[in-house]
Amino acid sequence: MRHRFLKGSSEVRRFIRSFVRSFVRSFVRSFVRSFVRSFVRSFVRSFVRSFVRSFVRSFVRSFVRSFVRSFVRSFVRSFVRSFVRSFVRSFVRSFVRSFIYSFIYLFIYLFGSSRKAL
């Protein structure tokens, strides 16, 4: 049942729907791009750093059996720590940055040229 005072509500709903859709689309696109770039960079950096550090530390201490054991233990410990730290940092930065960019885009969309169309 439609009320007479809601005559223009379909245009408003359409506008809100397109507004939300464009906001979500731009936010997701920006977030994914930013997160992947940041995460891959920090992932490679932490992997190489952990590998070299563990290799040097283990090689200096001993040679064959204990080398492998201590290398693996040291590498896993070091890599997991830095991996988790970089993952969280990348996720938070990417999320915040994408949210802000999408919000700005949305603000421009609302109060920019599209406002004249309403």
In a domain, 29, yes or no: no
Chain segment 4-60, per-residue pLDDT in tens: 445 567 888 888 888 888 888 888 888 888 888 888 888 888 888 888 888 777 766
Q: How confident is the prediction for the chain on average, in pLDDT?
A: 77
Q: How many domains in the chain?
A: 1
48, two tokens: 């190489």
User: Does residue 52 fall inside a structural domain?
Assistant: yes
Is residue 53 in a domain? Answer: yes
Say if 61 falls within a structural domain.
yes
Task: Over range 49-77, report the average pLDDT.
Answer: 74
The C-alpha atoms of residue 111 and residue 118 are separated, in whole angstroms, by: 11
Output the CA angle 37-81-85, nearest 5 degrees.
Answer: 40
In a domain, 49, yes or no: yes
Range of the domain at 54: 38-113
Q: Is residue 10 part of a domain?
A: no
pLDDT at 1: 46
Q: How confident is the model at residue 84 (pLDDT cuts 50, 70, 90)?
A: confident
CB 105 within 8 A of CB 25: no
At 80 the pLDDT is: 81
106 in a domain, yes or no?
Answer: yes
The answer to the question of residue 95 being in a domain is: yes
pLDDT at 106 over 60: yes
